[in-house]
Structures are given as C-alpha cells and as structure tokens.
Amino acid sequence: MKQYDVRKSGRRRFLRDAVAMTGAVAAGALLPAVTRAQSAKIRLGVMLPYTGTYAQLGLAIENGLRLALEQGGGKLGGREFEIFKVDDESEPSKATDNANRLITRDKVDVLIGSVHSGVAMGMIKVAREAGTLLVIPNAGADAATGALCAPNVFRTSFSNWQPVHPLGRVMAERGHKRAVFITWKYAAGEESLASFREAFTAVGGTVVKELFVPFPNVEFQALLTEIAALRPDAVACFFAGGGAVKFVKDYAAAGLKDKIPLYGSGFLTEGVLAAQGDAAEGLLTTLHYAESLDNPKNKAFRASYLKTYKTHADVYAVQGYDTGLLLMQALDKVGGDVGNRSAVIAAMEAAVIDSPRGQWKMSKAHNPIQDIYLRRAEKGDNKVIGVAWKALEDPARGCKL
C-alpha cells in the first residue's frame, strides 16, 4: 500500500513537472533564443570582506562598483542587473564554499572578489572549475595572473609584485643600503617582500631581516624592539586596513619614526590617513593611485564619490569603480549577452579603462599595465611626488595564456 502511494505520487509529480516543462518550452519557443537569454537580469556575485581588518576595503570596493554602474545608466549592455553579496570575512578556509554558493544557489553570471589573496585563491579554483567569469577588484595573489592565469579570470587592481617593485629602487636612490621588511605572514605580505627583495638587491641593497606577524594580528611591540636593535637604514612594509592604522601608530609611538625611515606599498596609507594622524606624516609609499592625481577623471570621480557616500574615495574605491567600467565596456560590446563567454572575454581583453588612476589596459595575463606613483603623506593626503615606474607590467611568471 505504502509503496503504491509513493509510486502514485511520484508519477503525479512527473506528470505535473512534464506539463510545467512543456508550458515553459512552449512559452520560450515564442521568443528568439537571444531575447530569451537577455530578458533576465545579469546576476553579479560580490564576495568581499564586510567584517574584520579589511571591512572598510570591501565597502569601498562595493561603493566604487555601484557608482560606476549607476553613472553608466544602471544597466549592463542594456540589461538590468542584480547583486548577490557575501561577507567572506577575509577567511580563506570558507572561500570555496562561499564562491560555490554564489554559483550554484544564486546562479551568478560573474563573480567579483575579493580583497584577501587567500580568499581570491579559493575563488580562482572555483571559477576555473565552473568556467564562471571572475573579476578580482583587489587581491594581489601573483598566481591569479601568473601560474594560475585563465581565460575567464581578470584583475582590475594589481599583482602583489607590482606596487612594491619600484620601492626597492626608490629606497636605494635615497641612499638606503640595509633594510628590514615587516609584514603579515600570508601571500600578500610574502609576495610583497619577495618583489621588494628582488628589486632592492638588484640595485645593491640588502634585506637584513624579514619580520612577520600572523594575519590579522596587530601585536607589533616585540618586532619593533627588534627593529630598534637592528638599526637598519630603513624599514619597508606591507600592511593595510585596520592593521595599517595600528602599525603606523605603534611605529611612531616606539620612537622609531624619526630615527629609521618607514616606507611601504601605498596600502599602508590608503583610506586610513585620518585615523593615523601625525604618525603618518611624511611617509613615502608607492602605489598605482593617489587621491591628488591631477586628471579630470579623478577629480570628477572623487567629487561624485564624496557626494554619494559622504566619505573620500581611496584606491579600493577606484578598483571597484574600474571593475564596473570594465564590465560595462565588455557587456555593451556584446549587447548584454553575458552567456557568450568567448565574446565577453575578448571584449574584456581589448578594454581600455579610462580610470581615475590614469588610463590602463589589460596585460596578456589579464592584469593592469599601469603607472606606479611615489606618494608622500601630507596633512591627511597622499601627495603625488613622481611616477616611480611608468607602465609597469607584472612579469606573469608561469602564465601560459
């Protein structure tokens, strides 16, 4: 009896589903295939940190992205879009699950994320397996556009190799020969250090000590004591977000600021200068953006961003904005047909982005070829004092695109 019921209800369900499917096919058959594919909204999966030391970075990226899309008329290639958000907590161990959920549950057409290199590595794994388009609006993991480069993986920010590479030369030119590098112990810190070491030793410098704290810890005291004892000519570092505020303040409070000059990749002073106060005054950093860049695009962008979000734009906002510009450019070119993957990829490869950071385009490995600026922190502003490296392209080691 029981068995019969199950079979009966199973058969009923089959019949009901078959009717529903026939209805759907019949309705769909009235529409040409392209119209059918394009009538739905484009689904964007945004995976960023909204909690923890990188929370402000995630928010700035989302703000920048939304600003570009709104300025573009609120559509992508003529189609409406919908954003699905996940707080990735800068937690690499949750990255593949989070990315998979966006793809299988929310059925996103494009994945956008993230800030943390370890999280981005998880997203790359998922995107490579699923074939989903991935745009990285921050994370610098060298492999993303190096050994693990892929046709469907693009980056609108930088590789970890890029911003610190010019720093080695800048510091050598300023007469420093013995440097200490201090950072968080994870990919972004380790790859920044490797790039700095490569550049600094090429011009005769020596990295006398490499110092690490686990991410996202901010207990710097013991290492600052060690730096004082080592007495190097200068210190270089990679820190960002909340951790960068604490490090810059602790460095000054330890009495090191006027004794041993501190340099960094420009993330050290991005979006955090107000919180760092006097402790940041005079710091020299290298980065692919500076708020004081004197070009009309940057001025207009900064004014709209301030008006919309009541806060100043930083490099993360620019990277989010450029992600929006890239998607709009590519989807306009393919008339919103996001399912035509090879055409979307070709359009993204050919894109020229008129960015607040200055115009840039994609390298063969899908990473921005861009100028790196030398900046000095002055009264709450990162002032451009020169171009540290013109049109710097990541070496894309191991990329076979």
By the criterion CB under 6 A, which residues form the site for ligand PHB?
A: 115-117, 138-141, 160, 188, 240, 267
Residue nearest to ligand PHB (CB): 240
Peptide bond preceding 216: is omega within 30 degrees of 0, i.e. cis?
A: yes
As measured in angstroms, the least distance from the Cβ of 79 to ligand PHB is 31
C-beta of 68 vs 268, nearer to ligand PHB: 268
- CA 366-374-149 angle, to 5 degrees, is 15
Q: Are 71 and 300 in contact (CB under 8 A)?
A: no
C-beta of 176 vs 357, nearer to ligand PHB: 357
Integer Cα distance of 382 and 349 in angstroms: 31
Taking phi first (over 0 means left), then psi (-120 to 50 degrees means alpha), and beta for anything else, what does residue 97 get? Answer: alpha
As measured in angstroms, the least distance from the Cβ of 24 to ligand PHB is 44
C-beta of 138 vs 323, nearer to ligand PHB: 138
C-beta of 116 vs 375, nearer to ligand PHB: 116
> Three-class SS of residue 44?
strand
- Strands 133-136 and 153-155 come out as parallel
CA dihedral 80, 307, 112, 349 (to 10 degrees): 80
User: Which residue, among 367, 342, 387, 382, has the nearest Cα to 162 in the 3D structure?
Assistant: 367
As measured in angstroms, the least distance from the Cβ of 114 to ligand PHB is 8
- Residues 6+ away with beta carbon under 8 Å from 230: 180, 208, 209
- Helices (H) and strands (E) counted in the chain, each on its own, are 13, 14
Q: Are 278 and 252 in contact (CB under 8 A)?
A: yes
C-beta of 81 vs 186, nearer to ligand PHB: 186
As measured in angstroms, the least distance from the Cβ of 157 to ligand PHB is 8
- Strands 110-112 and 358-362 come out as unpaired
> In the sheet that 133-136 helps form, which strands lie side by side, from edge to edge?
81-87, 42-48, 110-112, 133-136, 153-155
C-beta of 211 vs 268, nearer to ligand PHB: 268
Run of H or E including 374: strand 368-378
Integer Cα distance of 151 and 342 in angstroms: 9
C-beta of 160 vs 329, nearer to ligand PHB: 160
C-beta of 81 vs 267, nearer to ligand PHB: 267
Q: Are 263 and 233 in contact (CB under 8 A)?
A: no
C-beta of 38 vs 195, nearer to ligand PHB: 195
C-beta of 116 vs 197, nearer to ligand PHB: 116
What are the structure tokens assigned to 286, written together? 């290298």
As measured in angstroms, the least distance from the Cβ of 263 to ligand PHB is 16
Q: Are 363 and 369 in contact (CB under 8 A)?
A: yes
As measured in angstroms, the least distance from the Cβ of 61 to ligand PHB is 11
As measured in angstroms, the least distance from the Cβ of 90 to ligand PHB is 8
As measured in angstroms, the least distance from the Cβ of 239 to ligand PHB is 8
As measured in angstroms, the least distance from the Cβ of 315 to ligand PHB is 8
As measured in angstroms, the least distance from the Cβ of 189 to ligand PHB is 8
